[in-house]
Amino acid sequence: MKTFLNSAKVPLIAFVVLWVLGIFVNFSFNSYIQLILIYIMINMILAMSLNLVNGYTGQFSLGHAGFMASGAYTSAYLSTVIPMPAGAMQLPYFFALALAGGLVASVAGLLVGLPSLRLKGDYLAIVTLGFGEIIRVTLLNTDAVGGARGMYGIVGPTDWSLAGIPISRFMGGFTHALIWVLVCFFTIWRIIRSAHGRAFLSVREDEVAAESMGINTTRAKVLAFVLSSFFAGVAGAIFAHYANYLNPSSFTFMRSVDAVIMVVLGGMGSLSGSLLAAIFITVIPEALRPIQEMTGYDLRMVIYSLSLVLLMILRPQGLFGKYEITEALPWLQKFFKKSKATATTDGGAS
Amino acid sequence: MSTPLLEARSITMQFGGLKAVDSLQFQIQKGELMGLIGPNGAGKTTVFNMLTGVYQPTQGDVIFDGQSIKGKKPWQVSHLGMTRTFQNIRLFKELSVLENVLVASNQQIEYGFFSPLLKTKKFLDQEVALRKEALELLRIFHLEGKANDEASSLPYGEQRKLEIIRALATKPKLICLDEPAAGMNHNETHALMETIAKIRKDFHLTVLLIEHDMKLVMGICERIVVLDHGVKIEEGTPEKIQASKKVIEAYLGTDEDLQGSSSTTGGH
């Protein structure tokens, strides 16, 4: 029990703080801003999970959209089979659907990973890219999930009230997404700081040496890949139920590229970097809309691309490199240190 | 004689038409410090790669501690208790010195996938114990002060040392050192000799050493196997090797070569 409290303390504090922030957004901003916030969170999960493969394990996957699609369609399809319960049971319902979506995606990850992770670098990128396209084209041709028309009217969080207090659709979706963002963050954060994570890192650094030191590198790579696809599937499920609409064209190659951009921009091997990059990549195109309205030209993508080029020239290692924000801000690290159980020998933050 | 710790049973490695190693046979007794020498391209590193599972021998078998390592992957061989260092240093460059050692102790962990997520007592206890052990190992080699430095920031000699420490962290029975003195100056080589003697004594290790530096080999090895063109040409004590005509010929050439009967050198 004591260890459970210790392990759940920081995530719970983070949840409460961010949830209060969500209430603020709920009352202060319109549904457009709220939607962007949800998309930021979905992108955060995508970026963090891809970072596990591309950043920490040093493999190059370009098929993240495929895993996201598997999760999204699984969850959406299940919601047509199992009707949504009312009120308070909504959250566990969507949580369970996302879990199912994640599990299906991780099975897909296992099936792709086992044969293809023997390949390295560009070759692996091509194989994963191909896989992502296979998933998309399969969905495009499966009538049970709408084919090219996509799926309409997918159930999502609704407005309801708890003892007279109205709870909005946004708060339902936000709470659900927030839980998964935190689960994803703390899972990866803690795995990386365990023996499993050290195996991932050693594969990135030198596969031959890792193997000689007794690391089953195939297992490490597949584990990272499966975990990464799981969270991509979860992100897909959250997306499906908040957008209420799915179409295979949402999961094109460009979606995978977006995820890679977020990882590289934030820093390969930095979760804080992924979080920041997810915000940046989601917000910039939206924030540039007024410029389009003023000039009449669609300069958004030009500015967006230019800012990426500039960032990569000025900071090729990404915003954070391989470091976390706790390492840049010592007082934050102190906070983490205080609230954790491990003894003095622990080198990194919790 | 007791059963050897390692036995190479006429192992052959063929790359296409080239026989890099041809029916090589040797044994290493427990606790022994054996050297494997030979001119450039004699096939020494190929032998290492066969012993540690990087290459599968085309023919023959390697018996380690009573078990055949045929078909075993390098990580499985490492779990059996045979580990190695590399000719060109292969540290985990961007990880800290401590992390480099911790990676090698991974095979000792008993906690599963979910333990670190829930920070179970088992996980915390084992992590603390492993770190303590790793730091202790670093302390023995006077590297504990640099435990949190990036491995690539160490000077060359210390990187070599860290490779040995990392190999020791796998708790091996046999450690194979692939040219540990490569690129070292006289003083560094001397310090290395002491290190090797020390790990052997303190960790009750058996050592197989590939080396070019004759002073090092003759100074510490008890028995030496000489390889030339993939074939064992001599085996014995350093004194015997130094006196061997075949070995001198392999390294320096024969009298006929000197008389200049042919202008070509290299493989025959």
What are the counts of helices (DSSP H) followed by strands (DSSP E) for chain B?
11, 10
CB contact under 8 A, B117 and A191: yes
Indicate whether A340 belongs to any domain: no
Indicate whether A264 belongs to any domain: no
Residues 6+ apart with CB under 8 A from A89: none
Q: What is the pLDDT of residues B65-94, one digit of tens each?
A: 888 998 899 999 999 999 999 988 999 999
Q: Which helix (H) or strand (E) holds B75?
A: helix B74-80
Q: Can you give the pLDDT of all 350 residues of chain A as single tens digits?
A: 566 677 788 889 999 999 999 888 888 888 899 999 999 999 999 999 999 999 999 999 999 999 999 999 999 999 999 888 877 788 899 999 999 999 999 999 999 999 888 887 788 889 999 999 999 999 999 888 888 888 888 888 888 877 778 888 888 899 999 999 999 999 999 999 999 999 999 999 999 999 999 999 999 999 999 999 999 999 999 999 999 999 999 999 999 999 999 999 999 989 999 999 999 999 988 888 888 888 887 777 788 888 888 888 888 888 888 888 877 776 666 665 554 434 333 444 33
CB contact under 8 A, A194 and B116: yes
Indicate whether A288 belongs to any domain: no
Indicate whether A308 belongs to any domain: no
Residue of chain A whose alpha carbon sits nearest to that of B96: A347
Percentage, residues of chain B above pLDDT 90: 34
Query: Which domain does A66 fall in, by range?
Result: 2-252
CB count in 10 Å sphere of residue B219: 14
Closest-CA distance, A191 to chain B, in angstroms, reads: 6
Amino acid A239 reads F
Domain count, chain A: 1
Question: For residue A53, what pLDDT is reported?
Answer: 94
User: Least CB-CB distance to A345: which of B84, B86, B128?
Assistant: B128
Question: For residue B267, what pLDDT is reported?
Answer: 43
Indicate whether A284 belongs to any domain: no
Question: For residue A343, what pLDDT is reported?
Answer: 37
Name residues 79-118 of chain B within 8 A of A (Cβ). 79, 83-84, 86, 90-96, 98-99, 102-104, 106-107, 109, 111, 113, 115-118
Question: For residue A189, what pLDDT is reported?
Answer: 94
CB contact under 8 A, B74 and A212: yes
Residue in B74, B67, B69, B39 with CA at minimum distance from that of residue B57: B69
Q: Can you give the pLDDT of all 268 residues of chain B as single tens digits?
A: 578 899 988 899 988 888 888 888 899 999 899 999 888 888 888 998 899 988 899 999 999 988 899 889 999 999 999 999 998 899 999 999 999 999 999 888 888 888 888 888 888 999 999 999 999 999 988 888 998 899 999 988 889 889 999 999 999 999 999 988 888 888 888 888 888 888 888 888 999 999 877 778 888 888 999 988 888 888 888 888 888 888 888 887 777 666 655 444 444 4
Indicate whether A146 belongs to any domain: yes
Indicate whether A231 belongs to any domain: yes
Q: What is the pLDDT of residues B37-69, one digit of tens each?
A: 888 888 888 998 899 988 899 999 999 988 899
Question: For residue A344, what pLDDT is reported?
Answer: 37
CB contact under 8 A, A199 and B106: yes
Indicate whether A243 belongs to any domain: yes
